[in-house]
Amino acid sequence: MQPNSLQPKRILLIVGGGIAAYKVLDLCRLIRRKGLLVRAVMTKAAGEFVTPLSLGSVTGDKVYGELFSLTDEAEMGHIELSRDADLVVVAPATANLLAKMASGLADDLATTLLLATDKKVLAAPAMNLRMWAHPATRRNVAQLTADGVTFIGPTAGSMACGEFGVGRLAEPPAILVAIETLLAGDTAIPLPEGAWADPADSGLRPLSGRHVLVTSGPTHEPIDPVRYIANRSSGKQGHAIAAAAAAAGASVTLVTGPVALADPYGVTAIHVETAREMQDAVARAMPCDIFIGAAAVADWRSGDVAGQKLKKSAGAVSELTLVENPDILAGVAQAKTGRPALVVGFAAETTDVIAHAEAKLARKGCDLIVANDVSTSGESPGGVMGQATNTVHLIDHTGIESWPTMGKEAIAERLVARLAAMLAQ
């Protein structure tokens, strides 16, 4: 059966076996909302992440999976299945699926259809960042690009495995734009905001050749050998910024306090405990083009760190003498020589967020302050520290820009894109 120009266009969606497979349910809804038809084929591994029932309910069509199914063959042969489409979309395109496609393997229905199709193929890869960066995957992507396959993503951010970097499935709306672009006969796919399709392609990366220095996490200020002063920062926001800057092509140094996160892929991480260690590490990592102070540096430390564990004595409560820590951000922003072109601070506030942040912008001398309300009753439910989302207001000398509540990775990508544009001006 040949597609009729009056009929709605049909997408053949090949669903690979990856954790991101759940996102194709949204993709199917978006495709159908555009008046397009979508028919899904699952690999065996995809069945570990989504069910034929859930896919069938969003496609409104039978879901195929078996190469040697008598019933399916009787209804529609696999060659016909691959030809009765206007576009083939592979999402998530796993490293395994890309490898099979690149070498022309056809050992299941999905790969057989990909080999038998005469239609354009759009691949939306998703995999661990090291798998995406592996030379074998790079070779396969290069081969498939040469064979005419179009790629959308992957994007940068945090992975299901806890690492940060390039490897996330492009968001469904961005895949839909790519689908519409290809159906319209165009092949130049617009990149989703903040996404850089190929980490090896420096031409696409706005911070290539730049050094970005990021502080992240809390500091721990010792009281005695077993006790310390700390705060609830998890490092999620700062680490996401470091990962996004690396994905944007920058050489990134991340100075981090004690956190339970893996170092983001592709950044040089320096681990410190105290504010003074953080200040030393920052000084050693200079110069940089952009400094971003996302760390929740303790404002005070104990003025008299005990050499032995303080003992409880009946009825008496020891007094803690606090002394002020150096202000790392102010030191970088007010440096007489070697000041970075852009100095960005964060302001963690629980009241009068904007007013306090404006005062910090002026007092510390930075170019931009990212203000967030860290109270548990603030704009981001449950507080910002330790949570996955944040609600930020960007404040500079020209005004205030408020962003909606977003995942910390999305904020990081958007902030990095903004800083890259500011630097380019």
Burial class (CB in 10 A: 0-12, 13-18, 19+), 110: buried
Stretch that binds ligand PMT, among 14-22, 121-129, 186-194, 343-351 (CB under 6 A): 343-351
In degrees, rounded to 5, the angle at the alpha carbon of residue 367 between the alpha carbons of residues 362 and 369 is: 75
Q: Which amino acid is at 246?
A: A
Minimum CB separation of residue 393 from ligand PMT in Å reads 11
Chain center to CA of 300? 33
Q: Which of 42, 348, 416, 419 binds ligand PMT (CB under 6 A)?
A: 348
Q: Which amino acid is at 402?
A: S
Is 28 among the catalytic positions?
no
CA distance 201 to 198: 5
Using rule CB under 6 A, residue 328 touches ligand PMT: yes
Return the number of the residue (220 or 360) whose C-beta is nearest ligand PMT: 360
Binding to ligand PMT in span 364-403, by CB under 6 A: 372, 374, 384-386
Using rule CB under 6 A, residue 410 touches ligand PMT: no
Specify whether the CB–CB gap between 343 and 332 falls below 8 A: yes
Minimum CB separation of residue 307 from ligand PMT in Å reads 25
Stretch that binds ligand PMT, among 88-96, 186-194, 203-211, 296-304 (CB under 6 A): 296-304
* Cβ density class 292-305: b for 16+ within 10 Å, e for less: bbbbbbbeebbeee
CA distance 261 to 249: 22
Specify whether the CB–CB gap between 288 and 294 falls below 8 A: no
Identify the helix (H) or strand (E) that includes residue 40.
Answer: strand 37-42
Binding to ligand PMT in span 205-234, by CB under 6 A: 215, 233-234
Minimum CB separation of residue 219 from ligand PMT in Å reads 8
Stretch that binds ligand PMT, among 96-104, 106-114, 287-295, 306-314 (CB under 6 A): 287-295
Return the number of the residue (15 or 252) whose C-beta is nearest ligand PMT: 252
Q: Which amino acid is at 275?
A: A
Torsion of CA 91, 92, 98, 101, to 10 degrees: -30
CA distance 377 to 60: 42
Minimum CB separation of residue 204 from ligand PMT in Å reads 28
Stretch that binds ligand PMT, among 136-144, 153-161, 168-176, 340-348 (CB under 6 A): 340-348
CA distance 398 to 415: 17
x/- contact string, 156-195, with ligand PMT (CB under 6 A)?
----------------------------------------
Minimum CB separation of residue 139 from ligand PMT in Å reads 37
- Going by C-alpha positions, the residue among 10, 46, 33 that lies closest to residue 120 is 10
Minimum CB separation of residue 328 from ligand PMT in Å reads 3
Using rule CB under 6 A, residue 93 touches ligand PMT: no
User: Among all chains, which residue has been given the structure tokens 């993503």?
Assistant: 153
x/- contact string, 238-277, with ligand PMT (CB under 6 A)?
x------------------------------------x--
Specify whether the CB–CB gap between 173 and 179 falls below 8 A: no
Catalytic site positions: 161
Interface with ligand PMT (CB under 6 A)? 215, 233-238, 275, 293-297, 299, 325, 327-329, 345-348, 360, 372, 374, 384-386, 408
